[in-house]
Chain A
Amino acid sequence: MAPRERDEAEERERCITGIDGLDNILNGGIPRGNTVLITGSVGTGKTSLCLEFLVHGAIAGENSLYVSVTENSDKLLTNIIPYDFFDRKLIKEGRLVFIDLPVIYDKLGLEKLEFEFEEVNILITAIGNIVDELKIKRLVIDSITSVCYRLKTQENIRDFILKLGAMLSSRGCTSLLVSEISPAEERYSHYGVEEAIADGVVVTGNLERRGDLLRTLQVVKMRGTMHSRAKYVLDLTAVGVLLVPLLKGGSVASAGG
């Protein structure tokens, strides 16, 4: 049995991610309304994981929104088309929505490269309005690191994530914030404050073992549920993200044969 952590005694309603392996790790899903940081270096599967979370949400009748900051959403769409469970109908019916954040910036007249307190409030209000209008229950911002880049100071970043989290939580919206870090960074987020404020932290990474490169996933923190803190091996497939426990006998130190 993997070690488990109990944060809060009370059982909260779950947002079932639809990614079976992750729901098992989380003992049934993400506590509804949580803001979860998905953090890892490039190519570790963060975007794929988030897209799958939204597609399953849309299928389950929860309107889902993907806020793209760096990549064009048309290009992202090509990533989910191969999924067996994806259906274009979800987009046509407005259950799965893609918005490019730069478009929002434009509309709001946020042209400055550096956001202050005021711009933070404008942005949060704008996202809140979209969530209300489209009745969004699942939200992904990919990536929060790109937004934080404009916020500059740790105070502004803390302020932004706190307000964003509170706004989404009060609407019962479960959200994933993608955080990009370089493999060398020995923390969970680039600015070092994101992980402290988020309700959950899921780390994706690469693990080299005897010359083989494995994709890994680990839930480091999740408020409102018991969860495994063990490392899992991840595979990105046409049936979605698959997860199996990382075999412990396989650590370099004890590897033989």
Chain B
Amino acid sequence: MAVTTEVSEKLRALPEAAAVALRMKAEHYFDVIRAMLDVFATKKSLDSIYVTSTIPSTSIINALDVLEIPLDHIWFVDCISQIMMSAGQKHGHAIYVESPTMLENIMLKVEYLIRRTADRKNLVIIDSINSLAIHNNTKILSEFLHILVNNLRAKEAYTIIFSMEEYETEEIRNMLNLVSDETLQVEGEA
């Protein structure tokens, strides 16, 4: 609970439409998700667009289910499940992108969901820069983040980019500094 409180308070202190890097340890992952999708997005009446290239959207949806967080205002762009899934397994709140290398398609699906949720402002989560960096070179990934963040800022959406400390490299840190307005560090209980 401490992490959830810490993160939601840090998010609430952000200016409108901020683009932030959220650095965390893997152990805090689900507390962070709860802080964002439940506490922060609910308080701000935001529709959340969750881009996952880390774990399948169904795993996150199951976790949200356990936490009793309703899905009504949460949408997924899932970049890793397409190949393994049959049509019947697809979730109504998820859009699938063939692979995490299809960065333009990720942008297009985010754009689509923003249009579809036009009555509310948006929170866009990129989970995570580390997994995207496995599939894309730094040059194209920086270009992607740069265009995405600028586009989202123009649409008054928040952007939160996850970075897992365990998998951070110098290149990733540089990239985050370049595209985000600020970096939030998840401390956890001291």
Contact = CB atoms under 8 A, between A and B. Distances in A.
Asked if chains A and B come from one complex, the reply is yes
Given A249-B143, A257-B136, A244 B108 contact: yes
Interface in B3-43: none
| Among A210, A233, A246, A247: residue with most chain B CB under 10 A | A247
Interface string A217-257: 00000000000000001010101001011111110001111
A254 B108 contact: no
Nearest to B107: A244
A212 B99 CA distance: 9
Interface string B127-149: 00000011111011111100100
A239 B116 CA distance: 8
Contacts of A247: 103-104, 140, 143-144, 147
Interface string A199-212: 00000000000101
Where chain B touches its partner, the secondary structure class is helix
A209 to B, nearest CB: 9
A256 B99 contact: no
Contacts of A255: 137, 140
Contacts of B151: 244
Nearest to A245: B147
Interface string B109-141: 001100110000000000000000111110111
Contact of A242 (B111, B134, B147): B111
Nearest to A232: B104
Interface size class of A (residues with CB under 8 A): 10 to 19
Contacts of A166: none
B103 A250 contact: yes
Contacts of B136: 257
A2 B116 CA distance: 28
Interface in A59-105: none
Contact of B115 (A239, A249, A254, A256): A239
B108 A212 contact: no
B156 interface: no
A246 B102 CA distance: 11
A235 B99 CA distance: 16
Contact of B140 (A235, A237, A242, A250): A250
A219 B140 CA distance: 23
A167 interface: no
Contacts of A239: 112, 115-116
Contact of A254 (B105, B137, B141): B137
Contact of B101 (A233, A242, A246, A257): A257
A214 interface: yes
A249 B143 CA distance: 7
B112 A249 contact: no
A235 B112 contact: yes
Given A212-B102, A239-B112, A245-B147, A256 B107 contact: no
B98 interface: yes
Contacts of A256: 137
A253 B158 CA distance: 34
A213 B99 CA distance: 12
Contacts of B134: 257
Contacts of B143: 247-249
Interface of B: 98-99, 101-105, 107-108, 111-112, 115-116, 133-137, 139-144, 147, 151
The 7 closest A-B pairs by CB, nearest first: A249-B140, A256-B137, A249-B139, A233-B104, A235-B108, A244-B107, A239-B115
Given A254-B139, A255-B137, 6 more contacts: A214-B104, A235-B108, A244-B107, A245-B104, A256-B137, A257-B140
